Amino acid sequence: MNKRVIRLAISPCPNDTFMFDAIVNRRIDLGNFEFEVTYLDIEQLNAAALERRYDITKCSTALLPAIYDSYALLDSGSALGRGNGPLLVRRKGDTTPLKHIAVPGEHTTANALVRALFPDIEHRTPRLFSDIAKCVECGEYDGGVLIHEGRFVYQRSNLELVVDLGIEWEKRTGLPLPLGSIVAARDLGEEVISAFEALLRRSVEYAFANPGLSRDYIKQHAQELDDKVIDSHIALFVNDFSVSLGDEGRSAISRLTGVNNL
């Protein structure tokens, strides 16, 4: 039987590599699937999703309205939870009003949150997420939004927290914050999408059951190699919602995106 080759795109960040390890490294039965895996920064993933370049891809949850005709949201694999928000930071002791900040991409959930929660911040410039801390520290911007590993290590730099955007979201909505989602191209067909969704759920469950097996793979791709940072990253972004969104997870995504009938 010919294998079904799936073009898969995920980020190199520990939450994605942790969840997809069992698939990429064939620790579980892949059935009739083979995967061509590409690793991209979140904004590159968003741009690729807008062009329908990959069959299954990670994307910012805030992008869903723009791609929903082409991609279906999967029940597993999301980065969604409480206390997991992007961090808005500035240089220590700086009292300049935040008017121009760096964000990790135009289509990211982080940018959507700033736009919704702090409309007085007039200028938001997209930058590679791993460059934002140093750009703020050197004075290129009044502030910046940190995601991924950057949110755990910013205190090593001359930076201070302005606000945790996730906490602010939770205060206003009472819902967990949806950051990233896994979506599948609708033209794959319902049978293929359903089979992959079950496979991804098994991969996430396998990761939880065997947390140490993926560490070498994670470190091959991570920006920050410290084990404590990696552990904190995974603990914050991979949880029960990553196994299945459930009603609460879907409600949170609908609130963020305005997309119903997920």
Whole-structure pTM value: 0.89
Residue % of the chain over a pLDDT of 90: 79
Instruction: Note the pLDDT of residue 1.
Output: 62
Give the integer Cα–Cα distance in Å for 128 and 132: 7
User: Where do you find CATH 3.40.190.10 in the chain?
Assistant: 4-81+177-257, 87-173
Instruction: Note the pLDDT of residue 90.
Output: 95
Two tokens, residue 152: 């755990």
Determine how many CB atoms are found less than 10 A away from the CB of residue 51: 9
Q: Is the pLDDT of residue 30 over 80?
A: yes
Which range in 60-69, 89-98, 217-226 is most confidently predicted, on average pLDDT? 60-69
Q: Which residues are catalytic?
A: 148
Q: Is the pLDDT of residue 223 over 80?
A: no
Instruction: Note the pLDDT of residue 190.
Output: 96
CATH class for the region spanning 4-81+177-257: alpha beta
Q: Is the pLDDT of residue 153 over 90?
A: no
Residue type, 129: F
Instruction: Note the pLDDT of residue 121.
Output: 92
Instruction: Note the pLDDT of residue 107.
Output: 92
What CATH number does domain 87-173 carry, 3.40.1190.20, 1.10.260.40, 3.40.50.300, 3.40.190.10?
3.40.190.10
| Pick from 53-67, 125-139, 201-215: least confident | 125-139
Give the orientation angle of helix 14-24 with respect to helix 227-237, to 10 degrees.
Answer: 80
Banded model confidence at residue 95, pLDDT cuts 50, 70, 90? confident
Give the integer Cα–Cα distance in Å for 235 and 9: 22
DSSP string over 152-203: HHGGGSSEEEEEEHHHHHHHHHSSPEEEEEEEEEGGG-HHHHHHHHHHHHHH
Instruction: Note the pLDDT of residue 207.
Output: 98
Residue identified by tokens 């069959």 is: 55
| Residue 102 CB contacts under 8 Å (≥ 6 apart), including other chains | 124, 125, 126, 127, 131, 132, 135, 136, 140, 141, 143, 144, 145
Give the integer Cα–Cα distance in Å for 86 and 165: 6
Give the integer Cα–Cα distance in Å for 69 and 198: 22
Q: Which residue has the higher pLDDT, 215 or 95?
A: 215
